[in-house]
Structure 1
Amino acid sequence: MKQLDGKVAIVTGGARGVAKGVAAAFVKAGAKVLIVDREQDLGEATAAELGAFGDVAFLAVDLMDRAALPGVVDEAVRRFGRLDTLVNAAQASQQLLLKDTTVEAMDLALGTGLWATFLLMQAAYPHLVASRGSVINFGSGAGIEGMPTQASYGAAKEAIRSLSKTAAVEWGPEGVRINVICPFANSPGVEIWRQHFPEAYAAQIGKVPLRRIGDCESDIGAAAVFLASEAASYVTGQTLMVDGGQVRSF
């Protein structure tokens, strides 16, 4: 039996990058997946591609539209009949030095990251209680350690980790698990960075003990499948660094 047979998941930002890798891993592990993304054409193409491996649907939503977020959960339950895992992987931000970071840039990072995560968790809560399900949120080493030009991004990611800790404590008695993944993977954004700043990219890889960058599906997606599966039924309130040892948390 596949690890996630019979399970239903929502994956935000699933049209590309790390979130697409998570969606692919979930589908191949047997889950039914609703991919949520603002890019209609790319989202539909991703759903069609992953549909070769299982049951996948796509919903076009701009996560900055707070009023639309409860409808994401409603659509997953309407289409698939239940909800077992909410994966909040989407995040938009601008790379700016702190002195140049605008209120608008902070609003973008917090809106697509913290606010979307918070509102989707609230909407998903009763369904996750019913299924004794889980939430997988995405943090970042940029928030844990601090990185130049990542003021808004890092702030949003650390706020998400704090929210996750609270949820793990409050929702644990009802059987709902909350965990965070901090990835380092070959997403399109990282690939653009590699092309434009090859020396900085090589230097960053050199800081990774495993001396390679992670794969969106086989590394990050596999970790997410584990956290969503029964194998992790006693794991909650944790931040899992899936970054090749770049940030050492022990």
Structure 2
Amino acid sequence: MKRMEGKTVLITGGARGIGYGIARAFAEEGANIVITGRTASTLVEAQENLEADYGIEALFVVADGGDEKAVKNVVDQAVNRFGKIHCLINNAQVSKSGTMLVDHTKEDFDLAIYSGLYATFFYMREAFPYLKETKGSVINFASGAGLFGKLGQSSYAAAKEGIRGMSRVAAAEWGPFGINVNVVCPLAMTPGLEKWKDEYPKLYQQTIQGIPLGRFADPEKDIGKVCVFLASDDASYVTGETITLQGGSGLRP
């Protein structure tokens, strides 16, 4: 029997990039998949591919994570379709990356906070009753931008560090209910990074030299499989942790 057979996983931003890689890793383990995002066409394609490639059931719901009512609708539809939620993965995030702090507007800052921190809060709060029922798990995504103070990432880092703080509190509050809450900080190859690699090959090579393993992570094999572990019974005693999946570039004491 596959590790996630019969279980339901809700993934925000699950139609492309890291989120889609995570969705594929869970689908390979037999999970029912619920993916959200803001673009219907991308979600439709991802749903069709997941069902065709893995023979699982997938549901997509168009939603803006910063919209409280939209988030409630996603959770309601997931439960109406599959009956339970076993794992919530908050991956989606939008921000003005590359904009220095002094050049940020309030709207720029709000974009990161609402799409990241507020969205994570809304999804966690709405999913809690169902995670309590299944003794499920939450996996929230943060970033090395916050851990290490990356230039041009002030609003993004603020949102991600807020997510980390909230996750640690949730791990303490929800532990008695059997829910584990962990944070992943990835450094993965995505379509956006592929484009950057082609446009700035020298900078890409310099970046690779700072990664001891000499490559970016594969969203499915490197990031997704760790998420499957964190959602499985094998990780039932792991909670409140921040796991850096950065090929050694995130070394810290």
TM-score where L is the length of structure 1:
0.98
Unmatched segments (≥5 aa) in structure 2:
none
Deviations 1:92-145 (A, max 9, x none): 111201111111111111111000000110000010000000000001011100
Unmatched segments (≥5 aa) in structure 1:
none
Q: Are 2:220 and 1:217 aligned?
A: yes
Q: Are 2:113 and 1:107 aligned?
A: no
* Structure 1 consecutive aligned stretches of length 4 or more whose deviation exceeds 4 Å: none
> Could you tell me how far 1:68 is from its partner in structure 2?
1.2
1:155 maps to 158
**How many residues of Structure 1 are paired with residues of Structure 2 in the alignment?**
250
> Could you tell me how far 1:6 is from its partner in structure 2?
1.5
Letter in 1 for 2:8: V
Q: 2:185 aligns with which of 168, 182, 185?
A: 182
1:90 maps to 92
1:20 maps to 20
Q: 1:204 aligns with which of 198, 204, 207?
A: 207
1:70 maps to 72
Distance 2:201 2:114 in 1: 31
Distance 2:135 2:89 in 1: 15
Structure 1 range deviating more: 213-222 or 186-195: 186-195
Structure 1 range deviating more: 142-151 or 62-71: 62-71
Distance 1:107 1:172 in 2: 31
1:42 maps to 42
Q: Does the residue aligned with 2:24 lie in a helix, a strand or coil?
A: helix
Distance 1:212 1:154 in 2: 23
Deviations 1:6-29 (A, max 9, x none): 210100001100000001101111
> Could you tell me how far 1:191 is from its partner in structure 2?
1.6
Distance 1:103 1:198 in 2: 34
Deviations 1:164-184 (A, max 9, x none): 000000000110000011101
1:245 maps to 248
Q: Are 2:158 and 1:141 aligned?
A: no
> Could you tell me how far 1:195 is from its partner in structure 2?
2.2
